[in-house]
Structure 1
Amino acid sequence: MKKLIVSFLVTIMAVMSFTIFRVQALEPDTTNQLYPLRKPSGSSYWDTSNPSEWALSDATGKIHAKFTLPAHTSLMEFKDGIGIVRNSKAYKWGLIYDKGKIIVNYKYDYISSFFEGFACFRQGGKYGFIDKKGNEVIKAQFDSCGGFKFGRAVASINKKYGMIDRTGKWIIKPEFDGISYFPWTQQYSNDPILIKQGDYYGYIDSKGNIVIPPKFVRAQEFSEGLAAVQEQGKQLGYINWNGYYVILPQFYYATPFYNGIAYVSAWKADGKTLGGALINKKGEWIVPPGDFAPFAGDAKGSEGILSFSTYAPDGLAYVGAVNTKGEIIIPAKFESIGLFYNGIAMVRLHGGQEGFINTKGEYVVEPTYFGSFKSEYGALTFRNGLYAINGGLDGYLDYKGKLVIPPYR
């Protein structure tokens, strides 16, 4: 048997260095979404130096609207009859209706996705919120802001973080050095909220009361009632809402639980080398530490797939995958395998070709593309069940790899 080597542990360990006060683009709500398509124009495929023709299609491929955007302008997102547009020359953002009519002229420095009807904007170095009519419902006054979930959002001022309601009123005063609160990760409205105070992490409730004191050097958000944490001089373990260890510190890497499974790294039986493993919520091995690196089977971890890498006679490393029993289900023949999402993942061959595979390693999209597929945190990003090839320039694929929305030509 060829020697298996851990190929991703260094990268994955780096992910555990939490930066919980970074404001970023968030996964938007995608119900009733129309999908933007653009005709290639200009001197190159992605060139927007000339006015560009756009169309909006539903998930069946039916075109609902056509319009032209000015030069240097891109349609970043479209949902519920409203599009977010960006002018790359002026570095300004705005909003449009489905016919290309401007709701908000290009006056903002940034506009995020909409969450619970509000989008965060930046203007003059400050952040506020607009609604879907373009009204500034919360004036620009914050140093940063995040998306709304359960009627609250993170905001910061003078390098301190708190939470606001939909009127912009502070419901948790800005007194923390960081708050981790992302709309797509908050499972319940009463989940403890991860905060940073000085060099340590702890948890507060929805009113800002500290429920688990800041004493951890690393910590995650709660998932399925447990959170991975690490105290100074110890390894990672899992605590419950009361701050008690349910799974004692023993891991060098640990992911949130999804569907009762978490991915960890720990010492193998020889006590000399680290290995990837799967555990249940009791801390019992589902797959003991072995020569593979853990990654989520899909965006929620339900596939239970772990990657491994092996060197071939040609001197190159090839990546495959094993299941929750440690059985090889995808032979090592790829340069890389991305995270699985709804049963499919992007793969890349050593020649640079990209395609999609299912959990059996079978191609659902043959590897004929080059640089066409983008991912977020390693997983393909599907919007309402469809994936944009080259940002929509080449149409949209469904989970089976079928081209359901053809390119706009």
Structure 2
Amino acid sequence: MKKYIAIFILFFLTSLLYGCSKKVTVTIHFNNGEPNQVIDLDEIGYLPVVQTPEKDGYEFLGWYYQSDYQTAYRGERIIKNTHLYAKYSTYALGNESFVRFEQDGKWGLMIPQGKVIIEAIYDDISTFNYGRAMVIKDQTFNYIDENGTVLTSWRPYNPFLYDGIPHFLEDGLSIIFGDDYTSIDFIDRFGVIQIQTNHIGKGDSYFSNGRAIVYKRHGNQIPDTCSYIDLNGHLITDTFYKSCYPYNEGYAYIENDHGYQQLGLNGSMSLETNYVEIYPLYDGVKPVYILNSLSIVKRLNENNHLVYSVVDLDGHVLFTSPTERIISFSEDRILTMDNGELISIYDWNGNLVSKTTYQPATYPAYGYYDGLMVVMNDQNLMGAIDQDGNVIIPFEYEDISRFKGGFSVVKKQGLYGVINTKNEIILGITYHHLKYYDDILIF
């Protein structure tokens, strides 16, 4: 009996103490341009639900007690005047630049200058894209955010990171394959299934421009055909085609019995063409077939000869190379490659700027990144040239990743490091394994 009386007295005194305590305030720092908010707490001392703040182009990662984000607020009881600071992703979504590094057989992520963002504790890891990285640990696949917080976990049936990886792109959805390896659903960045389908998918069945490619199977003797679904999972057209290419800038190319055609977002035919092949460009290392409203095609000219051209969305020919395949273009230059895979550089008026003795070395990401293109010389050493063919990065490396954000991972004498566009060493060439895959290649 004395025990229960003691407990009651303790409870009473505790309640009296807290009931007489001063109220505390919590100052909310949104860090997104909105004014701070001051919240008066009652004697219980728990913060009411605060609306998740938004910062355009960035992801909210949580509340922290310090402006340098040392200690996370996890919903615990607040007993004194407190400041809470909103933390957002370090990089704008879709523009993350991270280096994968290996340490003692495990993988982590760092920024190019060497600061570790995710410790090397995983069996494998992708780089971040739109705020998420996929990690593998003990045969379990997880998505993490930049804090390293695990957001969802499952054992997918397609256990590979760089070929058809479930990866988030601009529409905020990622593909997951069912237990038959082909049927597909789509999840959001928190792992919640947003679109359930009965459709067959492949590595190019990712969303872009709110459209994803899906397939219909016809048996072993007849090739699969393809069409598109929208963000509700509905087919935008009942027609299935011989081949389909991802939407970009509101249009997609399809192939049917009449050759290549162009579709609008509603599935209607917007342009019939005389193209016999369409070549990929690269947004990072993601293949796109329309870039800045232009495409690279092989077509029949007025003399019924096959030529390579750059065309606009209305089918107008802006540049033609009758003998060399066009591999890329920039605002000022056209890049071509002859049968020997040597690069020639033209301006848009058709004038030859430089005929190099180099081969492109960053397949499939041909082209200029940060004003430089990685190339290989006849000794299989890599360097980089500018838009006039001048050598900016000397041919002294065994490997160079394409430049992103002013940085590239290089390999020299079997070791890896990071350089900038001036060939200055940013991270010492002392690592056994570094990879700078900041975008995802989808086959």
Normalised to the residue count of structure 2, the TM-score between the two structures is 0.60
Structure 1 residue identity aligned to 2:229? I
Q: For 1:361, which of 379, 389, 399 is the aligned residue?
A: 389
Alignment match, 1:287: 319
Give the CA deviation at 1:250.
Answer: 1.7
How far apart in 1 are the matches of 2:239 and 2:177? 19
Structure 2 residue identity aligned to 1:354? M
Alignment match, 1:344: 372
Alignment match, 1:115: 129
Give the CA deviation at 1:173.
Answer: 0.8
Q: For 1:161, which of 184, 191, 194 is the aligned residue?
A: 184
Alignment match, 2:300: 267
Structure 2 residue identity aligned to 1:307? T
How far apart in 2 are the matches of 1:74 and 1:128? 14
After superposition, the C-alpha distances for 1:202-256 in whole angstroms (9 at most, x for unaligned) are 111111011133512221111111111101x332222111223323132122242
How far apart in 2 are the matches of 1:237 and 1:229? 5
How far apart in 1 are the matches of 2:112 and 2:205? 23
Q: Is the 8 A contact 2:197 2:233 kept in 1?
A: no
Alignment match, 2:409: 388
How far apart in 2 are the matches of 1:217 and 1:82? 48
Alignment match, 2:399: 372
Matches within 5 A, 1:4-403: 29-31=94-96, 69-70=103-104, 72-73=105-106, 75=108, 77-78=110-111, 95-96=118-119, 105-106=121-122, 108=123, 110-122=124-136, 127-144=141-158, 146-149=166-169, 150-158=171-179, 159=181, 160-178=183-201, 180=204, 186=208, 188=209, 191-198=210-217, 199-213=224-238, 215-231=240-256, 233-254=257-278, 255=280, 256-272=289-305, 274-288=306-320, 290-297=322-329, 301-309=330-338, 318-336=342-360, 338-367=366-395, 369-374=396-401, 380=402, 382-390=403-411, 393=415, 395-399=417-421, 401-403=422-424
How far apart in 2 are the matches of 1:112 and 1:288? 39
Give the CA deviation at 1:182.
Answer: 5.3
SS in structure 2 of the partner of residue 407 of structure 1 = strand
SS in structure 1 of the partner of residue 411 of structure 2 = helix
How far apart in 1 are the matches of 2:113 and 2:417? 20
Q: Is the 8 A contact 2:383 2:394 kept in 1?
A: yes
Give the CA deviation at 1:284.
Answer: 0.8
Q: Is the 8 A contact 2:100 2:108 kept in 1?
A: yes
**Which has the greater radius of gyration?**
2
Pair 1:251–1:125, CA change in 2 (3 A)? farther
How far apart in 2 are the matches of 1:133 and 1:259? 35
How far apart in 2 are the matches of 1:126 and 1:394? 29
Q: Is the 8 A contact 1:127 1:141 kept in 2?
A: yes
How far apart in 2 are the matches of 1:80 and 1:357? 23
Return 5+ residue gaps in structure 1 as ranges.
Answer: 1-27, 38-47, 49-68, 85-94, 97-101, 311-315, 375-379
Normalised to the residue count of structure 1, the TM-score between the two structures is 0.64
Structure 1 residue identity aligned to 2:167? G
Q: Following TM superposition, where does structure 1 have runs of at least 4 consecutive aligned residues deviating by more than 6 angstroms?
A: 34-37, 79-82
Number of residue-to-residue matches in the alignment: 309
Pair 1:286–1:151, CA change in 2 (3 A)? closer
Pair 1:74–1:394, CA change in 2 (3 A)? same
After superposition, the C-alpha distances for 1:56-87 in whole angstroms (9 at most, x for unaligned) are xxxxxxxxxxxxx43x4555555899858xxx
How far apart in 2 are the matches of 1:373 and 1:208? 40
Give the CA deviation at 1:348.
Answer: 1.9
Alignment match, 2:6: none
SS in structure 2 of the partner of residue 221 of structure 1 = coil
How far apart in 2 are the matches of 1:79 and 1:181? 31
How far apart in 2 are the matches of 1:266 and 1:284? 12
After superposition, the C-alpha distances for 1:91-112 in whole angstroms (9 at most, x for unaligned) are xxxx51xxxxx7xx44x5x332
How far apart in 2 are the matches of 1:352 and 1:79? 25
Structure 2 residue identity aligned to 1:148? F
Give the CA deviation at 1:178.
Answer: 1.0
Q: CA RMSD in A?
A: 3.5
How far apart in 2 are the matches of 1:122 and 1:174? 26
Pair 1:353–1:82, CA change in 2 (3 A)? closer
Q: Is the 8 A contact 1:258 1:302 kept in 2?
A: no
Structure 2 residue identity aligned to 1:226? Y
Pair 1:118–1:80, CA change in 2 (3 A)? farther
Structure 2 residue identity aligned to 1:259? N
Higher strand share: 1
Q: Is the 8 A contact 1:203 1:213 kept in 2?
A: no
How far apart in 2 are the matches of 1:130 and 1:335? 38
SS in structure 1 of the partner of residue 404 of structure 2 = coil
After superposition, the C-alpha distances for 1:322-378 in whole angstroms (9 at most, x for unaligned) are 2333221221432446422233212222232322111111111232x242224xxxx
Give the CA deviation at 1:128.
Answer: 4.0
Pair 1:118–1:243, CA change in 2 (3 A)? same
Bigger relative contact order, structure 1 or 2 (CA pairs below 8 A, ≥6 apart): 1
SS in structure 2 of the partner of residue 213 of structure 1 = coil
SS in structure 1 of the partner of residue 250 of structure 2 = coil
Alignment match, 1:91: none
